[in-house]
Structure 1
Amino acid sequence: MTTPSNWFGQPRGLTILFLTNMWEQFSYYGMRALLVYYMTTTLLFDQEKSSSIYGFYTAFAYFTPIIGGTIADRWLGKKRAVIIGATIMAAGHFMMAFEPAFYFALATIALGNGLFLPTLPAQINDLYHSGDPRRPWAYNVYYVGVNVGAFLAPLICGFLGETYGWHWGFGAAGVGMLTGLVIYLWGQRYLPPERRADAHPATPAPITHRGRNTFLLLLGIGLAVTVFRGAYEQIGNTFALWMRDDVDRVIGGIEIGAAMFFSLNPLLVMIMTPFLLARWKRQAERGTELSVMHKMATGALIVAASYLVVAAAEAVSGAGSAHWLWLLSFFLIFTLGELYILPNGLGIFARLAPPKLGASTVAAWYLAIFAGSLAAGQVGRLWSHVDHTSFFLLLAGIATAAAMLLFLLDRPTKAVLAAAADAGPDEDLTDVGIGLARQRHG
């Protein structure tokens, strides 16, 4: 349904979902920006242990939504799942302020995220009639909320944590989560009633040859993404340590806190996305646009290049500190690569989702991220055992290997997409990948 009065040309409920999501992202990215620094300086964990814990935490932040989405669909409903999930996450963020509760706090945040993450964006479609032309743009509006929250979080939580103490930063993340919850509760009247699920689902259709091909293709893409994540997820792990320890962050006579530099990534996403989409549109009009697998492979290669830049910075600076311009160059290249691979990855899972299995198919994308985050935690353990130049060269090699796998999947992807086009696309899911690719995390 469409609400009778709109804000900014969209249903009022979209503004409520936008703001709720923005503050939830603020809480998540604020806590993540501080996590490795907190473990290595206050809890005095060694680098290997910190890397493993970071990997396990980010992995389960992707795994719990697979279970939480099922719980919401079968028993709780979307709205109650969002409220319960947000409340649990806020409690977890505040528990981070108490050192003895560290592990329990991380588990609490991950559990709450499992209910919250899949159910908030799932309410967007219910705001519109099936033929409403504004619906595809709704996901782009929602996507802005992701990046605004991710941009503000390191600036505020990072500043408080590095200036006044880590617990102040974690507390700010908890306040952000509570703010999102209050906005969601206040805006209930602008959200449509939930659509009731069919209590007697039809018998699943038998698996066809086309279905097997689609499954095998998505499995292959998932494996390639798992490899890619082993390098990509170092951004908040070992790369955070490099920013803190090996970069001269003095700009205009003022030393900028390492955590605050994390705001560069979402800021660049917001700046670069319109130009990249315009470029792809012009290429499509000329018939020169890259295939989806070539885009993803190109993205992996660009991310590999970003790690080569850091390796070069290490080699040039030697025992000294790298200039902050190396850091800026890394984020420019890294973000461009991210925009090539992640939105297209989630988009291909959404486009190939079988009827009535859309949520489960998209959840499989999060399962690949779960496995990749676990792998990243173990790759990060090497940071203390090899020189940093070699480590970043290894990350570039991992991203390149993922690119090669994606290139190999180009021909089967074209065949499966052609078969899916002949059968008719699933209207509700074709635009999800564009709007939600950065949702948490990617």
Structure 2
Amino acid sequence: MNNRSSGDLLGHPKGLFLLFGTELWERFSYYAMRAILVLYLTDKTINGGLGWSTQDALNLYGIYTGLVYITPLIGGWIADNFLGQRRSIIIGGVLMALGQFTLALPHSMIDLNAITAFYLGLALLIVGNGLFKPNISTMVGDLYQDGDHRRDGAFTIFYMGINLGSLLAGIIAGTASMTYGWKAGFLTAGIGMVISLITQLIFAERILGDIGKVPAAKRAAEMNKSGKKEPLTLQERDRLKVIMIMGLFVVIFWAGFEQAGGLMNIFSQQYTDRMIGSFEVPAAWFQSLNPFFVITLAPIIAALWVKMGPKEPNSPVKFAMGLFFLAIGFVFMMGAVMQQGGDITVKTSMLWLVGAYFFHTLGELCLSPIGLSMVTKLAPLRLASLMMGAWFGFNAVANYVAGIIGSLMGESGPMAIFSGIAIAAVVAGVLLLLCSNQLVRWMHGAEGKAVEDVNGKAVEA
């Protein structure tokens, strides 16, 4: 059986660019919906919104995004043991398209109660995402043999696809919502998901070959001479420990970063001077700053890692750098609050938000694509999608925490929240630096920073 896609493009398997396109439009769908969700919930009912309070909207946002990131744990297990990655992606994509179109239905066309239909749409999105998200990322890793130095670069390219979709989403969904109403924004999200599905269905067989067809557990059993499931080795257990420990720091990072769709979204809508001459910048457009910076900065960051050569930081150090950049971003948000001087009627400069998103993006590039690549390096084959799902599970916890933090704005005030996140990020970054050498040893050479002696014990290279 052919386990690798055939043919290269720009030094990478052609399958990478198919997965790039599939993920691009799926992420367009997700971020188009995310950019307007809180705004739709809190808008006045006479404008087509649901008229919720800010606290209730942010609580729901946290629950929704948390479930979006926890269901990949289940979807990864199903793919590893039953469906395989390719079938999981298609089924998940269909469910997500149905979810978006359910949200897009005008209230007058929905027989069900509008709120019931709203929750049904969210449920379809959550279940579909659980099947889609872990498996598309795992398939990127499957394009490369173990030890292939192109893998980190591949995930950087893949990550640019994610953010190109996000960049388009904020602009298109924000403009559609502002011009034609909130339902039009959800409709654009549904169309994006359909394009993702069509891309995969047309090209996957020819470009990906057999990748993703056979469940990982079955492939691992076939590779094992006994044909039975073997217990995890010491090396595998050590590597899984690294994934779990690094995941705890991921929670802290994303709990702060995900304020972009909640608290920072509200801040841009209510407390930011968005006028450029006579034009008012839609609040949803700020959601496109992050992907714009990713697309702009990712090639520079990737080139920097290559130029550093043997001095390139290991994954734990890069994660710590990401946490420090997150803290700097929230210092900018603290500056915005200070500009108000305690008067919430004062509108702050857009430059504070631009600066915050810039440094948050630097942090993201030090953490997110590196984490995806790390999981594909460290996870045992038979647990590949499951561990990718577990990795997204940490994001689930982070998103839930982010919703709780954002909902406290009315009680604590934005200054307490922004400064608290900044302090927590710095403390976590310092702690991770102190643990970095031990984590690299537990990777058993996967980082290229350690080798093993004759007893299988990791030592410094």
TM-score (norm 1): 0.86
Cα displacement (A) at 1:136: 6.2
For the 8 Å contact 1:13–1:187, the answer to whether it is kept is: no
- Candidates 305, 312, 315, aligned match of 1:292: 315
Alignment partners' CA distance in 2, 1:23 and 1:62: 18
Q: Give the AA of the match of 2:55.
A: E
Cα displacement (A) at 1:156: 0.2
Identity of aligned residues (%): 35
Q: 1:164 to 1:398 in 2, by over 3 A?
A: farther
Q: Give the AA of the match of 1:178.
A: V
Alignment partners' CA distance in 2, 1:136 and 1:330: 26
SS at match of 1:248: coil
SS at match of 1:120: helix
For the 8 Å contact 2:275–2:281, the answer to whether it is kept is: yes
Alignment partners' CA distance in 1, 2:329 and 2:278: 27
Q: Deviations over 1:202-237 (max 9, x none)?
A: 3323553x5554444433322222233221211111
Alignment partners' CA distance in 2, 1:105 and 1:70: 24
Alignment partners' CA distance in 2, 1:7 and 1:344: 22
Cα displacement (A) at 1:155: 0.4
Q: 1:206 to 1:37 in 2, by over 3 A?
A: closer
User: Is 1:261 aligned to 2:281, yes or no?
Assistant: no
Cα displacement (A) at 1:80: 2.3
Long gaps (5+) in structure 2: 44-48, 106-113, 454-461
- Candidates 154, 160, 176, aligned match of 1:160: 176
User: Is 1:192 aligned to 2:209, yes or no?
Assistant: yes
Alignment partners' CA distance in 2, 1:26 and 1:388: 29
Residue aligning to 1:20? 22
Q: 1:326 to 1:137 in 2, by over 3 A?
A: closer
- Candidates 83, 94, 101, aligned match of 1:94: 101
For the 8 Å contact 1:249–1:256, the answer to whether it is kept is: yes
Q: Deviations over 1:343-373 (max 9, x none)?
A: 3333443333245433333332112111111
Residue aligning to 1:84? 91
Alignment partners' CA distance in 1, 2:306 and 2:168: 30
User: How many aligned residue pairs are there?
Assistant: 421
- Candidates 359, 365, 369, aligned match of 1:333: 359
SS at match of 1:96: helix
Residue aligning to 2:339? 316
* RMSD, aligned α-carbons: 2.7
SS at match of 1:422: strand
User: Is 1:55 aligned to 2:42, yes or no?
Assistant: no
Alignment partners' CA distance in 2, 1:134 and 1:411: 24
Q: Deviations over 1:104-163 (max 9, x none)?
A: 111110101111112334444666778988776544443332121111000001111123
Alignment partners' CA distance in 1, 2:233 and 2:441: 18
Alignment partners' CA distance in 1, 2:369 and 2:89: 24
Residue aligning to 1:117? 133
For the 8 Å contact 2:324–2:425, the answer to whether it is kept is: yes
- Candidates 95, 120, 124, aligned match of 1:104: 120
For the 8 Å contact 1:221–1:409, the answer to whether it is kept is: no
Q: 1:237 to 1:273 in 2, by over 3 A?
A: same
For the 8 Å contact 1:14–1:124, the answer to whether it is kept is: yes
For the 8 Å contact 1:224–1:405, the answer to whether it is kept is: no
Q: 1:279 to 1:13 in 2, by over 3 A?
A: closer
